[in-house]
Amino acid sequence: MEERVKQIKQQLSAHNYKLTPQREATVRVLLENEEDHLSAEDVYLLVKEKAPEIGLATVYRTLELLSDLTIIHKLNFGDGVTRYEFRAEGAEHHHHHLICLNCGAVDEIIDDWLGPIEKRVEKEFDFQIIDHRLTFHGICHRCKDQVKDPGKLVGSKVT
Amino acid sequence: MEERVKQIKQQLSAHNYKLTPQREATVRVLLENEEDHLSAEDVYLLVKEKAPEIGLATVYRTLELLSDLTIIHKLNFGDGVTRYEFRAEGAEHHHHHLICLNCGAVDEIIDDWLGPIEKRVEKEFDFQIIDHRLTFHGICHRCKDQVKDPGKLVGSKVT
DNA sequence: TTATCATATGAGATTTGATATCAATTGAAT
DNA sequence: ATTCAATTGATATCAAATCTCATATGATAA
């Protein structure tokens, strides 16, 4: 934890940014909730618990800054809010997500299985891939017993 | 064209909805711009040209209705607006998108290449897939000559 | 035709997520 | 201590989307 904060501090300094108390509080919240996909509002409320004087705009600015430096990654699961997660260290692409249409849980696939498909895209479409996003929508293992008609779940969801 | 309108009319009646003049105008705009990925605002402005009295809320309601009936599909390319496209007829899953980080163009991959990966997900994660979304972000063939440092393009973009 | 009634609509208010503005504060380097 | 750029917090603003509600529409029954 401490060394991750330190590492981020170095990444900031490398670009002439400082790790201010507000930024540090925000980073710590992100680290403490690394398994979640927090929205800016989520982060704001959590940071406020340890640093009540922080402003919402500062949280947004910090998230934007961390995102610019590719320390974290902006995600959009179609629920109207931008979410944030740490970039897998060293990983060129971020991982994939499994979104349960029944309970809303977001699980992750750590592996990147798209290698062969990317090669095909680059070749057939002359498209140089920088990043990708793969999301599966369906029923997670926790819900499979209580959902009888999955067809009902499809509909107006943004994907 | 006419028969597609007729077909949609039937899909609506099947669920006790009527194809009102406003809904028909909206559907026609969507059909006439099938190759694009229009936002609600785009649709609104286009519909207004042929039916100036229509209200924005009605367009939103119509898009939501068509989306509920899975006649169209909501898309989110991370630019802050929801976009819409017709569902491929009969296709279980919609196709994939190539988004150029330089010019913003959205191209499509008609094939569904995820079969083997989906099998693996269903098996390894006990996750029943209903739909998926796959998007590649990178440099399209039209831009590849004018972009020297693709690394610069990565950053705070929502993906 | 006329009355009835559920559905659909338009105008505008409201909500919500996110960004911009700007005066005040901080803190590092003189 | 002084200076000066970076940062912050409060708030205004913006844009997308939704909600409210009075009105309009249209099918059906008398």
Asked if A1-87 and A90-154 have one fold, the answer is no
Residue B93 has a pLDDT of: 65
| A82–B157 CB contact, under 8 Å | no
CA distance A135 to B129: 10
Q: Tell me the domain boundaries of chain B.
A: 1-87, 93-159
**CB under 8 Å to A13, separation ≥6 — which residues?**
A19
Measure B48 CA to D29 C1' (Å): 37
Residue A67 has a pLDDT of: 95
**pLDDT (tens digit, 9 = 90+) per residue, B63-76?**
999 999 999 999 98
Measure B156 CA to D3 C1' (Å): 34
Q: Rounded mean pLDDT of A34-42? A: 95
By C-alpha distance, the chain B residue nearest A129 is: B138
HSE-up of residue A19 (Cα within 13 Å, Cβ side): 16
A90-154: CATH class: alpha beta
Per-residue confidence in pLDDT tens, chain B, 159 aa? 899 999 999 999 999 999 999 999 999 999 999 999 999 999 999 999 999 999 999 999 999 999 999 999 999 888 889 999 988 766 666 689 999 988 888 999 988 888 899 999 999 999 999 888 899 999 999 998 988 776 676 777 887
* Phi, psi values for residue B79, rounded to 5°: -105, 15
Q: Rounded mean pLDDT of A21-33? A: 97
Residue A127 has a pLDDT of: 95
Distance from the Cα of A126 to chain B's closest Cα (Å) equals: 5
- In three-state secondary structure terms, B145 is coil
Q: Kindly report the average pLDDT of chain A as a whole number.
A: 90
For chain A positions 77-116, those within 8 Å of chain B (CB to CB) are: 78, 82, 94, 98, 100-101, 107, 109, 113-114
Residue A89 has a pLDDT of: 67
Return the number of other C-beta atoms located less than 10 Å from residue A115's C-beta.
10
Residue B103 has a pLDDT of: 87
Q: Which of A20-29, A43-52, A96-105 has the lowest mean pLDDT?
A: A96-105
**pLDDT (tens digit, 9 = 90+) per residue, A78-129?**
888 999 998 876 666 668 999 998 888 899 998 888 889 999 999 999 999 9
Residue A95 has a pLDDT of: 84
| A138–B125 CB contact, under 8 Å | no
Residue B60 has a pLDDT of: 98
CATH topology for B93-159 is Dna Ligase; domain 1 (3.30.1490)
> Which architecture, in CATH terms, is A1-87?
Orthogonal Bundle (1.10)
CA distance A78 to A58: 24
Q: Which residues pair with A108 in a beta bridge?
A: A97
Model confidence at A52, pLDDT cuts 50, 70, 90, reads very high
Q: Rounded mean pLDDT of A7-34? A: 96
Q: Which residues pair with B137 in a beta bridge?
A: A131, B99
HSE-up of residue B89 (Cα within 13 Å, Cβ side): 4
Percent of chain A surpassing pLDDT 90: 68
